Structure formats: C-alpha cells, structure tokens
Amino acid sequence: MKRALVVAAGVVTAALVVGGTLLFSPLLDPDLSAHPEPLTSYVEASARIQAVLDAEAAMDLIPAGHSIALLTGARTENVVVLFHGFTSAPAQFRLIAQAYRDHGYNVWVPRLPYHGETNRLTDDPSKLTAESLRDFADDAIDVAAGLGDHITVVGLSAGGSLALWSAVARPEVTRAVLISPLLLPLGYQEWQLPVIVRALRLSPVDSYAWWDPVLKDDGPHQYNYSRYSLKGMAALLGLNHWAASAPSVSRASVVLVRNDADPLLDPDYNESFLTRLVSADRLTVVRIPASEGLGHDLVCPDPLGEDYANINTAYRYLEQALGIPLPAPRA
C-alpha cells in the first residue's frame, strides 16, 4: 500500500510538473505564421468566392449566415475584407459592406468556420483551432489580393483578432481597422492569456458559456448563437498571443476603435497592447466616450432593428475610423 501511494504520488507530481511546464512554456505553441498564396487576377478571386458560396448553399445555414460578396465585376484599386464577430454571422456587416461597395470597393465578408448554422446551440465551434483560423484569414487575404490593389481589413470583436493577425502577418494588407477587438476578455490579466489558451487547447473536452447567463437561449436574437465555445474563444485569443511577439512583415496603418463603455473588454488594455505593437506613426485611435452608452457590437448594435439611435451614434464614430460615409439606417 505504502509503495503504491509513493508511486502514485510520484506520478501525480510528475504530471503536475509536466503540465505546469506545458502551460507556462511556449515550446508547444503553434506557429501561426502566414502561408501566403495570393491570387493574381479578378477571375481567379471571383471563382474562389463562387466556390465558397456554392459550398455554403449546400449547408444548413440561416439566410444571414452566408458569406457576402459585393463585387464590381472587375479588379478595383481598393478591396476590403470584413471579419464578423465570434458566434455572429456575415450579415452583421451588411450595411457597412454596402457602404464600401457604394464607395467603389470590391467587398468580401467571409463566414467564419462553423458559424451561421441553423442550430443555434451547435457544438461545432469547439472544432476551431488557432491554425484553422489562421488558414481562414490567410485564404481571405489571398482572395482579396486578386480583387484589388490595396487591401483593407476590418474586424469587430473576435473578428478584430483576425484583422490584427492579417495586419501583422500579411504584407499585402495596407490598412486594418480594429473595432473593439477582443484582445483580452474583461476580468483577466495579460499574463493569464497564454496559460488559458494553452490549457484550453490541450483540454480534451470543451465547455460553453451563455452570452446572457439569465436569458440563455430565450433572449432576443437574429443570427448570433446564444452561447460560445471556450476552446473556440481560446483559438481566437491564440492569434492575439502570437501577434504580440511575432516579427511583423507588414507596414499597415492600424485604426483602433475603442468604446469606453464596452461591457466585454478593457479599452485601455486594447490601446496599450496596440501601442506596444504598432509604431505611433501607423496607429490611430478613435475614441467613443462612455457617455454615449453604446454596447459591444458597434457594427450592428441593434440587430433586431428596434433602436436606431444606437446605430446612428455608432456610425458617426465608425465613419472616422473607416474613412467612408455610412448610411443612416433611419432618421
């Protein structure tokens, strides 16, 4: 018995040592460098997009869940890629996408993997990995390279992680607009980020959290999921962790939209993070004061279309960040 306990204690101790080493060491962190294969023509890019749309037509997606392509029919000087938020859908950017198209851009709003599904309680987002998200963003920039000469990436919340990765890893990107990027969830410290990301990546099981713990799946919604995968969230945060230490190959200008009333993240941390990552001559900050009382989703702050005052207020600030005129959804 005593010998068995000693052996067991030794095994547990060894497991704790190994586990602790894995969690606090970057040795097993994935390499999230880009694997660029930029398309060189509009014909190639539009064909790639059509293949995506055809594949989605056979999937069980809600109407708002399909990727959006607003193309001019020819290569343009400017092209924009819009990355929607975690558990949301491409329709989140529908108004801004149209504004870019009206301004002469080719526009591509790709659907994040495992998003936009009819089953709002799907477990599929747990399949997300940092590598698959890297590949997703990589492919979006490859396509954009065939659509136009100057690539702008725009991302909201977790989509801001994809936009940030693109601005760091792909030299083709000339401008990145990060709208309330989810660089670190509210309530966490920066040192905890890599530990949490590694722990969830190595975990054989996933957990889910409700966006609204009170209403759960009974809250108002249009196209977003009611809950989110912790492993999926960790995969997105892993992109931020990589970007913080990766050698940048880009000289893209970066615009940060910070909302001082954001309930999900710390806007001071976001600005501090980007100040360390991006030189002062390439970083612009558009600040929305807390007195405006806006929520986290500044792109479609009222997805049910019941309070147009919020979206009109948000768009006044987003016009500064995006550099194009935006429509007033309702006067």
| In a domain? residue 14 | no
The region of weakest confidence among 5-9, 106-110, 262-266, 298-302 is 5-9
Determine the pLDDT at residue 197: 86
Determine the pLDDT at residue 16: 38
pTM of the model: 0.89
Q: Which helix (H) or strand (E) holds 6?
A: helix 2-24
pLDDT for 131 beyond 80 = yes
Determine the pLDDT at residue 13: 39
pLDDT for 312 beyond 60 = yes
Determine the pLDDT at residue 108: 98
Determine the pLDDT at residue 66: 97
Determine the pLDDT at residue 34: 95
DSSP string, 152-188: EEEEETHHHHHHHHHHHH-TTEEEEEEES--SSBTT-
When pLDDT is cut at 50, 70 and 90, the band that residue 213 belongs to is confident
When divided into structural domains, the chain yields a total of 1
Determine the pLDDT at residue 223: 79
Determine the pLDDT at residue 141: 98
CATH number, domain at 148? 3.40.50.1820
Which residues 6+ apart lie within 8 Å of 18 measured at CB?
A: none
What is the rounded distance in angstroms from the CA atom of residue 173 to the CA atom of residue 159?
15
Higher pLDDT, 82 or 194: 82
Backbone angles phi, psi at 61, to 5 degrees: -115, 150
Tokens of 208: 């889910």
Give bridge partners of residue 68 from the DSSP assignment.
109
Q: What is the pLDDT of residues 314-323, one digit of tens each?
A: 999 999 999 9
Cβ neighbours around 72 below 10 Å, total = 15
Ranges of beta strands (E only) in the chain are 68-70, 76-83, 106-109, 148-156, 173-179, 208-210, 227-229, 253-259, 283-288
When pLDDT is cut at 50, 70 and 90, the band that residue 3 belongs to is very low
Mean pLDDT in residue range 209-238: 83
Determine the pLDDT at residue 17: 43
| In a domain? residue 316 | yes
User: Exposure of 124 by Cβ count < 10 A (0-12 exposed, 13-18 middle, 19+ buried)?
Assistant: middle
Give the SS3 label for residue 16: helix
Higher pLDDT, 151 or 200: 151
What is the rounded distance in angstroms from the CA atom of residue 32 to the CA atom of residue 49?
24
Q: What is the pLDDT of residues 39-55, one digit of tens each?
A: 999 999 999 999 999 99
Tokens of 12: 């547990």
**Torsion-angle region of 73 (φ positive above 0: left; ψ -120 to 50: alpha; else: beta):** left
| In a domain? residue 331 | no
| In a domain? residue 317 | yes
| In a domain? residue 24 | no
Q: What is the pLDDT of residues 249-305, one digit of tens each?
A: 678 999 999 999 999 999 999 999 999 999 999 999 999 999 999 999 999 876 655
When pLDDT is cut at 50, 70 and 90, the band that residue 8 belongs to is very low
| In a domain? residue 68 | yes
* Mean of pLDDT over the chain: 87
pLDDT for 99 beyond 60 = yes
Domain that includes residue 238, residue range: 31-322
| In a domain? residue 5 | no
Q: What is the pLDDT of residues 159-191, one digit of tens each?
A: 999 999 999 999 999 999 999 999 988 788 888
Mean pLDDT in residue range 213-231: 80
Q: What is the pLDDT of residues 20-34, one digit of tens each?
A: 555 655 657 888 999
